[in-house]
Amino acid sequence: MKFFLDTANIDEIKQGVSWGLVDGVTTNPSLVVKEGVDFHSRVKEICAVVNGSVSAEVTAVDFDGMMKEGHVLAKLHHNVTVKVPLIPEGIKACKALSSEGIKVNVTLCFSASQALIAAKAGATYISPFVGRLDDVSQDGIQLIRDIVHIYKNYGFSTQVLAASLRHPMHVVQSAMAGAHVGTMPIGVMKQLFNHPLTDIGLKRFLDDWEKAKSQAPKK
């Protein structure tokens, strides 16, 4: 499974990249606004530090507007994936942009029927929001399973990008369900490392090493 970072913060991205774990980045208008920076400059900055897909979202909700923004975004860098919302105009734009060879991430997916539509429109990625479904008492991970199953049935090449992942088990369960990508905040990526037995075990090894050194006969 590929790991994407779900952020527009350059320091977080550099940290993830330093671990060798970042295969791409997803941004959205909320994440960009939080940074208080120029959108296009930030997308270019991200593309300079990440060797992989960088999703940049359109804000228009009509076909012409999405196409116009999509073309501008795609020209910023060859790593840019244009993100469009899962509404009829977005699906139309997905089909048109994809047929021009532009990579498209269809976002705000909350059902298998929506995912089927995005795949038929030639989406490169479909982004089902796991955490937000859990928030309304629906099983987000089950949606990942369903979409992976449907895409396998028909050999769709659209990749399932599990989004709105809020904790390590969301990542693990998405991987078990066969998601191609999981996008997560830096905090969740950090949590993936953690296990108390690792810390306890390392401390014991280092303590033993120090003890052995102090007991060794002096040369």
Q: CA-CA distance, 70 to 57, in Å (whole number)?
A: 8
- Count the alpha carbons within 13 Å of 159 in the hemisphere toward its beta carbon: 18
CB of 130 to ligand G3P, least distance (A): 8
Q: Answer yes or no whether residue 131 interacts with ligand G3P by CB under 6 A.
A: yes
Q: Total binding residues for ligand G3P by CB under 6 A?
A: 10
> Footprint of ligand G3P on residues 1-60 (CB under 6 A)?
6, 26, 28
Residues 136-175 that bind ligand G3P (CB under 6 A): 163-164, 166
Closest CB to ligand G3P among 33 and 206? 33
Q: Are 41 and 77 in contact (CB under 8 A)?
A: no
Choose the stretch contacting ligand G3P; rule: CB under 6 A; options: 126-134, 171-179, 191-199, 209-217: 126-134
The only residue of 3, 129, 151, 156 in contact with ligand G3P, by rule CB under 6 A: 129
**Three-state SS for 5?**
strand
Cα Rg of the chain (Å, integer)? 21
**Smallest gap from residue 42 Cβ to ligand G3P (A):** 15
Range 106-125, binding ligand G3P (CB under 6 A): none
Closest CA relative to residue 56, chosen from 68, 45, 40: 40
Q: Which helix (H) or strand (E) holds 105?
A: strand 104-109
83 tagged catalytic: yes
Residue burial 44-64, b: 16+ Cβ < 10 Å; e: rest: bbbbeebebbbbbbbebeebe
| Residue closer to ligand G3P, measured from CB, 96 or 192 | 192
